[in-house]
Structure 1
Amino acid sequence: MERKSILSILLVLVIIMALFTGCQPAPAEEPTEVSEETPEQPVEAAAEPADEPYTGEPLQIYAAYGGLEEIAQKFESETGIPVEMLSMSSGEVLSRMRAEAGRALGDVWFGGGIDSFMVAAEEGLLHPYQSPEAISIEDRFKDQEGYWTGVSIVLVTFVVNKPLAEELGVDIPRTWESLTDPAYQGEVSMPNPGISGTAYTAIASMIQMRGEVAGWEYLDVLDQNIPYYAERGSEPPQQASLGEVLVGISPDGINSLREGYPVEVVYPEDGTPWWHSPVAIIEGTQNLEAAQKFVDWVLTEEGQAFLAEVSPRPSTRPNVPLPEDVPTLDELNLVDYDFAWAAQERDRIVEEWTQRYTQ
């Protein structure tokens, strides 16, 4: 064979072997060992956008509730919304809202007599709002159209100064009937029902319990033991706590006990008047979103538990943990109270009361 032919054959063989070798898969890479001294870094979740800070005007709240300073601070710390609490009785709030109708200066009405809230709703002074938290509130404690929602249960009680009872040599009164005893002449303090939800609920309860004629006859006798009618609902328990009078008709007796005053809180055995203290948004508010947030907050379980700490009352929301000094409703003889009637008759009853006892 010629030399040239042999070289050609060898070249072809070399090319074939090179092609065969190039088709073989590359050897697998060895797995990279993770050093025990260098832990894997966790993957960070994408940050959620933070709520924008509140930049609006402070929320203006007309309030008839205990612990207002603590409530305002707690709400602001949790929401960033500043609050200005204006303490007023139910009658004062209703009068102010009537005067401000169409140019509301307030945003929220918090606490007070339910009858006044019903009247305000009828007069178009409240803005309806169905809070998502209201689903947990019993129907009997809220307006079905969302004009108001009950926050807590207020109990009308006697705050009795025990040392003064001993000094006067009298028993601690435990019923409305016993409160008319001449032994208590000049020793009973009660607010004016024209401005106090507590007092109006008390006199309306007497009329409902006894009937129109007998109810007014009872109030005539009770009037003999009342030296004057206080202009603020907070005055009677303060007077009783300080021993200025024996009995203060009040919804806030537990606060006097907590402050260390020598008093006993009596839940009248022949009928404890009560109402659910609501929250509502004022029609015409210029701060609607912040107002809605306040309503939501006071109706949450956490908000309700906090309210019971600073203003000891039973809650309208079930299963809220309450302080030990707050009674449960099944322990009490609650008046079978017609709230709709009390609201409809409010102006008439207050006018009759005024003519009888303040002329």
Structure 2
Amino acid sequence: MNKRFIKGSLATMIAMLSTNVLAATEVTVYTAFETDILAKYKNAFEKSNPDIKINWVRDSTGIMTAKLLAEKKNPQAEVVWGLAGSSMALLKEEGILKSYTPQGLDKLHAELNDPQSSQAWYGNDAFFNAICFNEIVAKQQNLPKPTSWEDLTKPVYQGHIAMPNPASSGTGYMQVSAWLQNMGDDKGWAYMQNLHSNITHYTHSGSKPCVQAGMGEVAIGISMASRGAKLKTQGAPLDVITPAGIGWESEAVGLVKDSKAAQRVVDWSISKEANELYVEMYPVVGHKDVKAVVANFPNVQQKMAKMDFARMGSERADVLKTWSDKFDGKSEAK
């Protein structure tokens, strides 16, 4: 009986030791990627890296940026993956992101990456704004098709437009920044004041205005071009319109804690394998060798606003305070 007991105890101990050896290292990754793509990215990474497990913490760009800044003295994230370049520039300035040179950097489009020395963030993809226009609702309401940002200030559109709150949505903030940078501050704020008269509500998600337009809840959603293309491909009665001066930005990855496991997450996130997943939704991705045509995605290249991402990061707090003081009263409840 004693021998059996000893053998049983040894077997249990060996099993426990084996379990500990095989247990995956967990990496906490903060993200603003859309919820419906997180599982795909996690599964692909963990298949290639079975000894590492990703724990996502997800929220919209503005909220995630604020969370990272609030945790500056006691960081909880190890990697930030899928956050706007302007936010990444601010996080670097605040000392939250570590300088790191990932494997495969030479394969990336430089214009999507941190432009400063001691690079700390790298573009996974570029995302663009658009106007999602429900053609059925427009016909019912006798609304003309808008072709410019100025068109959206016409009285005929009063109560028919939704757009993201820039304080909680990177999609919203990049369009506000595009208006300010390309119109000038005075004209940009005056434009937003006129547009505000026609806004029915501001959402806390960048894709939601397009989803609402696709469902007929509003006629017009200022939103993500990629979401508009996807919904149109799925059969939504949308026209995805890109007026001159559309906002755009890179979604990027960066290192918060300098561990080997966290570095491997960053390395994989810029790999060709990862970019082949990004390109399923975004037609412009970081890797030079990955290209695709996304069904119903509008031609954005000649409509892109000139964007200064460093300025977006440094002005963020002041711009958002001004915007919130003027317009937050129409925001949806969180």
TM over 0.5: yes
- Distance across 1 between alignment mates of 2:198 and 2:47: 46
- 1:80-229 equivalent positions in 2, closer than 5 A: 80=50, 81-143=52-114, 144-229=117-202
More strand by share: 2
- Preserved contact between residue 61 and residue 106 of structure 1 (Cα < 8 Å): yes
- Distance across 1 between alignment mates of 2:165 and 2:100: 31
- Distance across 1 between alignment mates of 2:22 and 2:91: 30
Residue of structure 1 in register with 2:32 after alignment: 64
Q: 1:156 aligns to what SS in structure 2? A: strand
Residues 54 and 273 of structure 1, relative CA distance in 2, 3 Å threshold: farther
- Distance across 2 between alignment mates of 1:328 and 1:197: 20
Instruction: Return the TM-score normalized by structure 2.
Output: 0.84
1:230 aligns with 2:230: no
Instruction: Return the TM-score normalized by structure 1.
Output: 0.79
Q: 1:59 aligns to what SS in structure 2? A: strand
Give the greater-gyration-radius structure (CA): 1
- Distance across 2 between alignment mates of 1:275 and 1:54: 40
- Distance across 1 between alignment mates of 2:233 and 2:262: 31
Residues 280-322 of structure 1 show CA distances to partners (whole Å, capped at 9, x for unaligned) of: 122x46xx2222222222212222112211x334112223131
Residue of structure 1 in register with 2:44 after alignment: 74
Query: 1:244 Cα shift?
Result: 0.4
- Distance across 1 between alignment mates of 2:92 and 2:111: 16
Q: Which structure 2 segments of 5+ residues have no match?
A: 1-19, 330-334
Q: 1:256 aligns to what SS in structure 2? A: helix
- Preserved contact between residue 279 and residue 290 of structure 2 (Cα < 8 Å): no
- Distance across 2 between alignment mates of 1:248 and 1:57: 42
Residues 24-67 of structure 1 show CA distances to partners (whole Å, capped at 9, x for unaligned) of: xxxxxxxxxxxxxxxxxxxxxxxxxxxx9863443222211231
The Cα RMSD (Å) is 2.1
- Preserved contact between residue 80 and residue 255 of structure 2 (Cα < 8 Å): yes
Which amino acid in the other structure matches residue 316 of structure 1? G
- Preserved contact between residue 312 and residue 326 of structure 1 (Cα < 8 Å): no
- Preserved contact between residue 313 and residue 326 of structure 1 (Cα < 8 Å): no
Query: 1:171 Cα shift?
Result: 2.1
Residues 245 and 330 of structure 1, relative CA distance in 2, 3 Å threshold: closer
Query: 1:353 Cα shift?
Result: 0.7
Percent identity, aligned pairs only?
Answer: 27
**Number of matched residues?**
303
Query: 1:330 Cα shift?
Result: 7.0
Which amino acid in the other structure matches residue 248 of structure 2? W
Query: 1:162 Cα shift?
Result: 1.7
Q: 1:349 aligns to what SS in structure 2? A: helix
Residues 329-359 of structure 1 show CA distances to partners (whole Å, capped at 9, x for unaligned) of: 7743211112222222111111111111125
- Preserved contact between residue 60 and residue 204 of structure 2 (Cα < 8 Å): no
Residues 330 and 101 of structure 1, relative CA distance in 2, 3 Å threshold: closer
